[in-house]
């Protein structure tokens, strides 16, 4: 039995495809060749729920200095005490929402992505949340909400659209689980739906302007 065989059937296609994914499959922004950028990691925790497979997302506090109010995966910068990027992602998830690292099984690390606006080099850590338990914001000054959003709700064409930024930037976005998902997180969700075999055709001509709360400070 392979490691993929030990995963739930709904997660196997994504796990098997993940090892073949190239950075350019996730984003056009790849880590700088000179090794610059601040190393960080996010935890893509997928769990089985009564509504089917779901992913853990957080909404950052509205008064944070950066990324205020944005929906994200739990995660953050690599600390000197972290043994690996996986450890960083699990530590951050514990600090942000109280997730027990022992309840999670890391599947694989996806290729790192560069975020030019912040200078972060982010490694998405794909994980199976084998034993979901109650989670909540640990510090409301950083995390306003936590949600386990069904994949079916994210994949629903009625919940998908293209968001337009005043700068002219366009990108995929979602409105699911009472969350407005855009930017880096929405880009990753879009790719995960494709690679996991969950994506459905949706109307890319449907556009919405990015709410001012996300760019006016």
**What are the beta bridge partners of residue 40?**
77, 122
| CATH tag for 4-214 (out of 3.30.2130.10, 3.40.50.150, 3.30.43.10, 3.90.79.10) | 3.90.79.10
What residues does each domain of the chain span?
4-214
Range of weakest confidence among 22-26, 38-42, 60-64, 163-167: 60-64
> In Å, what is the CA distance from 21 to each residue of 31, 53, 108, 114, 191?
15, 21, 11, 16, 10
HSE (CB half, 13 Å, CA atoms) of 109? Answer: 15
- Residue 68's pLDDT band (cuts 50, 70, 90): low
Q: Average pLDDT, whole number, for the chain?
A: 93
Structure tokens of 126?
A: 């794909």
- The predicted structure's pLDDT at residue 177: 86
Looking at residue 135, its pLDDT comes to 98
The predicted model gives 180-207 an average pLDDT of: 97
Of the chain, the percentage scoring pLDDT greater than 90 comes to 80
Going by C-alpha positions, the residue among 145, 217, 140, 127 that lies closest to residue 181 is 145
Q: Which residues contact 161 (CB under 8 A, 6 or more apart)?
A: 173, 174, 175, 203, 206, 207, 208
**pLDDT reading at 2 higher than 60:** no
Question: What pLDDT was estimated at residue 1?
Answer: 33
If you average pLDDT over residues 185-190, what whole number do you get? Answer: 97
pTM of this prediction? 0.94
């Amino acid at each position: 039995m392979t490691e993929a065989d030990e995963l739930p059937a709904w997660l196997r296609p994504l796990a098997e495809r993940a090892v073949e994914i190239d950075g350019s499959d996730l984003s056009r922004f790849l880590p700088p060749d000179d090794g610059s950028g601040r190393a960080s990691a996010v935890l893509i925790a997928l769990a089985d729920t009564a509504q089917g497979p779901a992913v853990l997302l957080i909404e950052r506090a509205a008064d944070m200095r950066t990324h205020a109010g944005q929906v994200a995966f739990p995660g953050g910068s690599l600390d000197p005490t972290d043994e690996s990027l996986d450890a960083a992602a699990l530590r951050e998830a514990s600090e942000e929402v109280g997730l027990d690292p022992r309840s999670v099984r890391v599947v694989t690390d996806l290729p790192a992505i560069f975020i030019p606006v912040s200078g972060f080099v982010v490694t998405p850590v794909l994980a199976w949340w084998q034993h979901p338990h109650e989670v909540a914001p640990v510090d409301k000054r950083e995390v306003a909400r936590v949600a386990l959003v069904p994949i079916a709700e994210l994949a629903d064409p009625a919940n998908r659209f293209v968001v337009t930024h005043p700068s002219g930037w366009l990108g995929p976005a979602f409105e699911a689980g009472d969350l407005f998902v855009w930017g880096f997180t929405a880009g990753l969700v879009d790719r995960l739906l494709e690679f996991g075999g969950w994506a459905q055709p949706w109307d890319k001509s449907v556009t919405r302007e990015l709410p001012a709360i996300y760019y006016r400070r």
